[in-house]
Amino acid sequence: MLVALFRNNANAFIGENMNRLKAGAVLKVPSAEAAGAVAPKEAKQIIQAQSADFGAYRSRLATGVQATAPETSRAASGQVQAEVQDRKATAAAAPDKLTLSKGAVGAASKPVDGVATAREQKESSARVAELAKNVEDLQKLKGAAAGAPAAAPAPAPGTVSVPVAGVPAAPVVTPPASAAVAPPPAPAAVASAPSPAAACG
Alpha carbon 79 to chain centroid, angstroms:
59
pTM higher than 0.85, yes or no? Answer: no
- 68-88 residue pLDDT tens: 556 666 667 777 777 777 776
* Domain assignments of the chain as residue spans, ordered by start: 2-66, 112-145
pLDDT of residue 104: 55
Strands, E, within the chain: which ranges?
Answer: none
Distance CA 15, CA 4 (A): 17
What residues have CB less than 8 Å from 76, skipping those under 6 apart?
none
pLDDT digits (tens, 9 = 90+) for 30-75: 888 888 888 899 889 988 998 898 888 888 888 876 655 566 666 6
- Spacing of C-alpha 8 from chain mean position: 57
Helix, strand or coil, per DSSP, at residue 40: helix
Q: How many helices (H) and strands (E) does the chain have?
A: 6, 0
